[in-house]
Amino acid sequence: MAGRGRLAALALFTLMGTQLQTGLAGGAGAPVIVGARLSQDENGAKLVFDLSRQVEATTSALASPDRIVIDLPEVSFQVDSSASRVGAQPHVLLVRGFRFGPLTPGKSRVVIDLERAACPAMVSSRSIVEGEPAARLTIELKACDPSAFAALVRSSAILTRIALPPVTLSQPVIVLDPGHGGLDSGARGLRGLQEKTLVFDFCAELKRQLDKTKRYSIVMTRYGDQYVDLDDRVAIARKASASLFISVHADTLSEDANVSGSTVYTAADRASDAEAARIAARENADGGRLSPASRPGNPDVADILFDLKRRESLTYARIFSRGLIESLKAATRLNHNPERSAGFVVLKAPEFPSVLVELGYLSNAQDVQSLSSPEWQTRTAAATVTEIDAFFAGPGKPDNGPSADNGVAPSAVRDTAPLAH
């Protein structure tokens, strides 16, 4: 049996041939995938990749359409794309097909498109022969109840936290939080526009412009149309050691279509006005309980330190909020009362300054025209970047926010490429 295994490993090395040499000569040193095969029936499916060495894999699930996602470190796919085609009758199978490719520098992804609800039964990366580098990545799926798949989708935010891209600690970490997602579409407005789509598009543009500065490490709380619980959004920011958290939303007001313009919110135990209270109640309807920050063992000391940190972060949040409002004046229309505060769940973490930006009102025709315009998104994102630069360059910048002009290149972060969705 061992002899047969060594022959298989030798065959795999031979199959890699010049492809493996080319990958190593390129300086990347990334593992090489040279084979992929899918087998399945009505009860289960197995997808196997042949690799030059073992890799770590993280699984998650996305809905509408239903997919299983496997995130990998950077690998070189030397596989014919025809390997991903499924030629049998799809109505009796679990998998319609699969896709693979690079996601961002340092990251690769495999997306398995499902015909019916299925859940991972096993994901493993093991050497073909003990002591030899050649390995196989095996993903086994089993048919499962739709409710079980839905639960897996809901837990994907936790898996995303585990797979967060590394950040460069010498750079400020900006966490962008596009509101809502998945089954939670948020506000619905004129022309059938959905809040979840508009705010994601804006955050993607803001991320693009921030990446271009090479001054920040950027993390997004969602990278596609998926639901992320409020608690998980805050946890993602904590995991990333956020320097600044920006949650982005858009409102609607059926009672008065004339209300319009952008508003910036900071956290407060009591809302600054009735409108702020209404919006906070709507955004908090996602549910979720804010997980407490880590505190020292001595309760008295903990309460004092916790309160001091919360006050400090809130002070910085208000500084950023006022600066952002000034910067946005030249780019977009502001609400008649653009600086407000309320008890938003996503703004209550004491470790970092947080703001919530309502881009506008989907019940207002002029705002809808602006928010759906790529030119408006580019202009408004640029105004936001201007204030972020000023915030981190100033003498009163947060302790966890290094100067933005240090010239350090940003770490690899996830992109919004189609493969990621």
Per-residue pLDDT 10s for the chain (421 aa) are: 444 444 444 444 444 443 444 333 333 478 999 889 999 988 899 999 999 988 888 888 888 788 898 888 899 988 876 666 665 555 668 898 888 888 777 888 888 989 889 988 888 888 887 778 888 999 999 998 888 888 777 766 444 443 455 555 568 999 999 999 887 889 988 888 899 999 999 999 999 999 999 999 999 988 888 878 888 888 889 888 899 999 999 998 877 888 999 999 999 878 777 777 787 777 776 544 443 444 434 445 445 555 667 788 889 999 999 999 999 999 999 999 999 998 898 898 888 999 999 999 999 999 999 999 999 999 999 999 999 999 998 655 565 544 444 333 222 233 333 344 4
Question: What stretches of 333-401 show up as alpha helix (H) in DSSP?
Answer: 365-371, 374-393
The Cα–Cα gap between 120 and 131 comes to 28
The Cα–Cα gap between 352 and 239 comes to 12
The Cα–Cα gap between 390 and 385 comes to 9
Residue pair 320/355 in contact by the 8 Å Cβ criterion: yes
Residue pair 273/345 in contact by the 8 Å Cβ criterion: no
> What's 208's domain CATH number?
3.40.630.40
Whole-number pLDDT of residue 373: 95
DSSP characters for 123-167? EEEEESSTT-S-EEEEEEEEE--HHHHHHHHHTHHHHHHHTPPP-
Residue pair 413/105 in contact by the 8 Å Cβ criterion: no
The Cα–Cα gap between 238 and 255 comes to 38
Mark whether 112 and 182 lie in a shared domain: no
At position 346, the amino acid (one-letter code) is V
Mark whether 51 and 199 lie in a shared domain: no
Mark whether 211 and 343 lie in a shared domain: yes
The Cα–Cα gap between 398 and 317 comes to 10
Alpha-carbon distance values, 323 to 35, 273, 352, 388 (Å) = 54, 21, 17, 9
From the list 150, 172, 186, the residue with the least C-alpha distance to 237 is 172
Q: Name 134's bridge partners.
A: none
* Domain boundaries, position 34: 2-154
Residue by residue, what is the 3-state secondary structure of 178-240?
ECCECCECCCECHHHCEHHHHHHHHHHHHHHHHHHHCCCEEEECCCCCCCCCHHHHHHHHHHC
Whole-number pLDDT of residue 1: 42
Query: Could you tell me whether strands 244-251 and 262-267 are parallel, antiparallel, or unpaired per DSSP bridges?
Result: unpaired
Question: Is-above-0.75 flag for pTM?
Answer: no
Mark whether 394 and 260 lie in a shared domain: yes
Mark whether 369 and 352 lie in a shared domain: yes
Mark whether 129 and 202 lie in a shared domain: no
Would you call the peptide bond into 292 cis, given omega within 30 degrees of 0 as the criterion?
no
Whole-number pLDDT of residue 394: 64
Mark whether 134 and 209 lie in a shared domain: no
Whole-number pLDDT of residue 303: 54
Mark whether 303 and 372 lie in a shared domain: yes
Indicate the residue among 137, 154, 171 that finishes a domain.
154
Residue pair 221/237 in contact by the 8 Å Cβ criterion: yes
Residue linked to tokens 């904590």: 238
Split into its structural domains, the chain has a count of 2
Whole-number pLDDT of residue 185: 87
Mark whether 84 and 215 lie in a shared domain: no
Mark whether 111 and 254 lie in a shared domain: no
Question: What angle, rounded to 10 degrees, do the helices at 374-393 and 195-213 form?
Answer: 50
The Cα–Cα gap between 418 and 412 comes to 17
Whole-number pLDDT of residue 121: 84
> What's 22's domain CATH number?
2.60.40.3500
DSSP 8-state assignment for residue 5: H
Indicate the residue among 107, 131, 154 that finishes a domain.
154
The Cα–Cα gap between 69 and 421 comes to 9
How many CB atoms lie under 10 A from the CB of residue 58? 13
Residue pair 194/188 in contact by the 8 Å Cβ criterion: yes
Whole-number pLDDT of residue 403: 43
Mark whether 137 and 269 lie in a shared domain: no
Alpha-carbon distance values, 278 to 39, 179, 260 (Å) = 53, 16, 16
Mark whether 212 and 249 lie in a shared domain: yes
Indicate the residue among 154, 174, 192 that finishes a domain.
154
Classify residue 10 by burial, with Cβ atoms within 10 Å: 0-12, 13-18, 19+.
middle
